[in-house]
Amino acid sequence: MTDFFNGIPTIKYEGPESQNDFTFRHYNPDEVVLGKTLKEHLRFAVAYWHSFAWEGGDPFGGRTFDRPWFGSEMDLAKLKADAAFEMFEILGAPFFCFHDADVRPEGQNFAENTRNLEEIVEYFAGKMEGSETKLLWGTANLFSHRRFMSGAATNPDPEVFAFSAATIKTCMDATYRLGGQNYVLWGGREGYETLLNTDMGRERQQAGRMLQMAVEYKHKIGFKGAILIEPKPQEPTKHQYDYDVATVYGFLKDFGLEDEVQVNIEQGHAILAGHSFEHELALARALGIFGSIDMNRNDYQSGWDTDQFPNNVPETALAYYEVLKAGGFTTGGTNFDAKLRRQSLDAEDLILGHVGAMDVCAAGLKVAAKMLDDGKLEAERDARYAGWETPEGKALMHSDLESIMAQVTGQDINPEPKSGRQERLENLVNRYL
């Protein structure tokens, strides 16, 4: 036992009237909604990097946090793991997620990185035997170290591509060893700063081949989880290759991977791409590539990925409405890719950030379930497209321009516009809140 979370109780559900800060008001893991418990619906995961590796700070100043595990020795990495698993238990977190670099000391070379990772993975495996918390996904940090300054898969230097491919293998092995349910690839520095030194066509080919190799390796080792790409625009360059869901889908199609790879959609990344979160979720569902979510909140004025804990129920409700319409999560879940503000120094801040986020998501999911169950919203949408369900509407999709022209002329088709009823629908949604 560490003493990091001393005095903080295990968080229990006490209901909306509770005045106790260390309690859930809306997240009752056993509550059944639309035939599944909230625990099964939401599949919450703690992000190891933000909770245990993030040092505080902002673009103008470094570390503000003090943690007893900060440092680069293996013993400290194990102390960090001890504290992490204590927090998972306090929260009753069903899952966690990690990058290699969050959990193991950085070595002098690839071999040392691998040895360090394997040692800590065995340490995790031991802890997971006595814990309810499972691994939602693992991933490789192919962006923080200076060797990745020009990208990982898309690097002009083939040695960086090789180092990255080898690292992905070790991280997929770690994920598989720990029973991970997904493996994530987020593009980090896969983008370019200036076309003057960039061969975009070649870089795309490199990225496509890297992803194909990850998929090939997944099948080779019999990893049953999903491979997920996490789209992100803007940071650190305006031309990021995995800009948004639509861009990623085009990329997957190009490399024949649209049936192999799904997306992990992050709220803050959607906002940075100029979309709403629900837009990205709805598009992924429509394209058949919805996988998992990174739940956080972006500041709408700042213009960078602020990774705050979610605290807006109407927004989470619209997001979970899309998740429910996609049939809910299968291997995916709700990963809190969220970090404390730099002034939130205390252990209890870390706990309360998660408690609030879990409550907001649970409240949002319950609203979404009511919206879906009631059926009014879907009935309005169905009515709007009803013409397409008639024999004439269906036939149009298999017709051709000449026949359609003959039909329009012969029947003197002259459509009258109908209201889209947006305000009525917005009022309807507000009634469920």
Query: What is the per-residue DSSP string for 305-317?
Result: ---BPP--HHHHH
Q: Which listed residue (98, 176, 186, 290) binds ligand XLS by CB under 6 A?
A: 186
Q: Measured between alpha carbons, how far is 217 from 77 in angstroms, rounded to an integer? A: 28
**100 is a site residue for ligand XLS (CB under 6 A):** no
Q: Which listed residue (294, 321, 326, 340) binds Ni ion by CB under 5 A?
A: 294
Neighbouring C-beta atoms of residue 293, cutoff 10 Å: 31
- Of 26, 50, 99, 279, the active-site residue reads 99
| Residue 283, token pair as written in the block | 């598009």
**244 is a site residue for ligand XLS (CB under 6 A):** no
Q: How crowded is the C-beta side of 47, counted as CA atoms within 13 Å?
A: 25
SS3 68: coil
Nearest to 34 by CA among 325, 430, 373, 270: 373
Neighbouring C-beta atoms of residue 328, cutoff 10 Å: 17
**190 is a site residue for Ni ion (CB under 5 A):** no
> Which of Ni ion, ligand XLS, none does residue 280 bind to, with CB < 5 to 8 Å depending on kind?
none
> Which of Ni ion, ligand XLS, none does residue 190 bind to, with CB < 5 to 8 Å depending on kind?
none
Helix axes 347-374, 74-91, angle to 10 degrees: 40
Q: What's the DSSP call for residue 185?
A: E
Number of residues located near ligand XLS, criterion CB under 6 A = 10
SS3 396: helix
Bridge-based pairing of strands 191-192 and 182-186 is unpaired
The residue behind tokens 């991977």 is: 257
Comparison of 150 and 240: residue with beta carbon closer to ligand XLS: 240
Chain centre to alpha carbon of residue 47: 10
**280 is a site residue for Ni ion (CB under 5 A):** no
SS3 33: strand
Q: What's the DSSP call for residue 58?
A: B
Bridge-based pairing of strands 182-186 and 134-139 is parallel
State yes or no: is 99 an active-site residue: yes
Q: How far is the CB of 144 from ligand XLS (least distance, A)?
A: 10
Q: Measured between alpha carbons, how far is 185 from 179 in angstroms, rounded to an integer? A: 17
> Which of ligand XLS, Ni ion, none does residue 139 bind to, with CB < 5 to 8 Å depending on kind?
ligand XLS
Comparison of 244 and 337: residue with beta carbon closer to Ni ion: 337
Comparison of 244 and 305: residue with beta carbon closer to Ni ion: 305
State yes or no: is 374 an active-site residue: no
Restricted to residues 316-355, the positions that interact with Ni ion (CB under 5 A) are 337
Q: How far is the CB of 100 from ligand XLS (least distance, A)?
A: 11
Nearest to 213 by CA among 292, 286, 152: 152
Per-residue contact string for residues 214-233; x = within reach of ligand XLS by CB under 6 A: ----------------x-x-
Q: Which listed residue (86, 190, 266, 359) binds ligand XLS by CB under 6 A?
A: 266
| Residue 280, token pair as written in the block | 């990205």
**322 is a site residue for ligand XLS (CB under 6 A):** no
- Of 100, 102, 294, 307, the active-site residue reads 102
Restricted to residues 136-175, the positions that interact with ligand XLS (CB under 6 A) are 139
Per-residue contact string for residues 233-272; x = within reach of Ni ion by CB under 5 A: ---------------------------------x------
Q: Which listed residue (86, 280, 294, 322) binds ligand XLS by CB under 6 A?
A: 294
Bridge-based pairing of strands 226-230 and 334-336 is unpaired
Comparison of 102 and 337: residue with beta carbon closer to Ni ion: 337
Q: Which residues are catalytic?
A: 99, 102
Binding site for ligand XLS (CB under 6 A): 99, 139, 184, 186, 230, 232, 266, 294, 305, 337
Binding site for Ni ion (CB under 5 A): 266, 294, 305, 337
